[in-house]
Structure 1
């Protein structure tokens, strides 16, 4: 399956941005989302991460006009979702895999959805090919696996050839080949100048897929930036074996590097700096270095360190 997203310039026109400003939602005494702000830019995949109960699904539903915010606003292409004249042609969304009549074929299901948003039947065959369901187009959906149902839900979202995709856990039920396909598809969709906001618990996959991350916990934003920026703050450290670790630690601290731990005799673990900077400072301080390596944490470790750091404050 080598298909990629359509790159029709007409569809790619428009801002394709999602802007969340001071968004908040209370359900009685429970504050599900608190003063949340972030922007999803065209041309990139934005991963939306957080533990269970963090407010991700509520936020996505507010963006899509399914839940009314208590405070703040969410704009899609510069307006609230409810103000879009042809929402299916602007945003394709999958918040949960909807039930399909078990006797209805994938093609029939998509034709009904296409008629509802005013797109021709010819688009049905296009999206079936895009999501890898062409061979199963005339099979009853009752025999579909969870992964095939995920692809069918994505096909519905793509019918209007939208410039924005909003997806909640789209990789659930996909096998490794399907997950690799989804990654390539989303990256190609974004590379065509469109926007992708995707919520997922598959952190290792998000590290490979997303260019930007928004991490929330207990309804509030904990991080908004690139994967590289998250790694710089939480995800890497330099292990350095020095002749005089105390002197090196002093030189590092003088230069503003304070994330320093003693690992064992002569070895320091230094966070917040790369190996080049540590080596240059050791040279300037006249400290001999016998070995140096850089540890890079995966997104799962960075995610846990980020949330643990918030809890300690």
Structure 2
């Protein structure tokens, strides 16, 4: 049996109250070293508030959050690199000038700044003022600042904002490389579908509480794609499928069966044995964001609560 990975980040029983209103409730999860964890939830779920607590900007009412430890990730000058919303960039500074300010505070050399500019493909706009950049380049500047000092843990609050498909693919590649080197990532998103390609683990937050945590594969098993089948006798078909071990068949209000796990060949074989005629078989893939909607609930957001 392989040894458990050391933790890059551990959160235990984290609770936050504003004016007597609980906005985070007993939040517990961990980010193992060398992995990427996505913190997902609708607006008002408490994602940004939790990030602020993890970065020491807010003190929780109760619970603990610990960062790092022996063997928790790659070495670097800073334990944590962060992207926050809003980015907090100075619009009148050049891209390179922006990085130099943060580099000086972090004890990072000018040579490393130039290396980060090349890494994030910002070297071509290094002398351009931030205020003239398009959203995707502004997002890259924020990420470049987070990467200064080669921090083992990256905490990225909604880093996909303003990025198109190719930009997201580029970011995911960077995060995969960071994890392969032993680094760790916690990123937030309002969309489950956008973060699945990069996530090893998922934490779903709804109204300040964790409603799911685990792997994307486990979540998918609990919300499988289905084949919607119209048959001359749906009950006889469902009974035959159950006898063959396919027990997840749901009767729709229109009389059709929504069948999970069984393939076309399985359903056709069961229909043949049950002497049932099939008149329609339509794939019904479950979109990840429908799964997110099913997991979360609509709740009023307390006034002033960050997302």
TM-score higher than 0.5:
yes
Where relative contact order (Cα < 8 A, 6+ residues apart) is larger, the structure is: 2
1:268 shift after superposition: 1.3
Higher helix fraction: Structure 1 or Structure 2?
A: 1
Tell me whether 1:262 sits opposite 2:248 in the alignment.
Answer: no
Tell me whether 1:275 sits opposite 2:263 in the alignment.
Answer: yes
1:92 aligned partner: 81
Q: What whole-Å deviation, never above 9, does each CA across 1:119-164 have from its counterpart, x for those lacking one?
A: 2211101111122211011122232233222111111110010111
Q: Tell me which of 21, 26, 29 is aligned to 2:17.
A: 26
1:192 shift after superposition: 2.6
1:280 shift after superposition: 10
Question: Contact (CA 8 Å) 2:237, 2:271: kept in 1 or not?
Answer: no
Tell me whether 1:211 sits opposite 2:200 in the alignment.
Answer: yes
Question: Contact (CA 8 Å) 1:45, 1:197: kept in 2 or not?
Answer: yes
**CA distance in 2 between partners of 1:155 and 1:93 (Å):** 10
Question: Contact (CA 8 Å) 2:236, 2:274: kept in 1 or not?
Answer: no
Q: Tell me which of 65, 69, 85 is aligned to 2:60.
A: 69
Question: Contact (CA 8 Å) 2:241, 2:267: kept in 1 or not?
Answer: no
**CA distance in 2 between partners of 1:305 and 1:89 (Å):** 39
Tell me whether 1:237 sits opposite 2:226 in the alignment.
Answer: yes
Q: What whole-Å deviation, never above 9, does each CA across 1:5-24 have from its counterpart, x for those lacking one?
A: xxxxxxxxx94621111111
Q: Tell me which of 146, 160, 163 is aligned to 1:174.
A: 163
Question: Contact (CA 8 Å) 2:36, 2:179: kept in 1 or not?
Answer: yes
Give the alignment's TM-score, normalised by structure 1. Answer: 0.80
Q: Which runs of 5+ in 1 are unaligned?
A: 1-13, 80-85
C-alpha spacing 1:25/1:263, structure 2 compared with 1 (3 Å): same
More off after superposition, 63-72 vs 281-290: 281-290
Q: Tell me which of 107, 112, 118 is aligned to 1:118.
A: 107
**CA distance in 2 between partners of 1:252 and 1:23 (Å):** 45
Please provide the CA RMSD for this pair: 3.2
1:42 aligned partner: 33
How many aligned residue pairs are there? 289
Q: Which runs of 5+ in 2 are unaligned?
A: 300-307
**CA distance in 2 between partners of 1:15 and 1:126 (Å):** 29
Q: Tell me which of 130, 134, 141 is aligned to 2:130.
A: 141
**CA distance in 2 between partners of 1:167 and 1:283 (Å):** 50
Tell me whether 1:56 sits opposite 2:47 in the alignment.
Answer: yes
Give the alignment's TM-score, normalised by structure 2. Answer: 0.81
Q: What whole-Å deviation, never above 9, does each CA across 1:254-294 have from its counterpart, x for those lacking one?
A: 769355123756x41024x3438965994897566857665
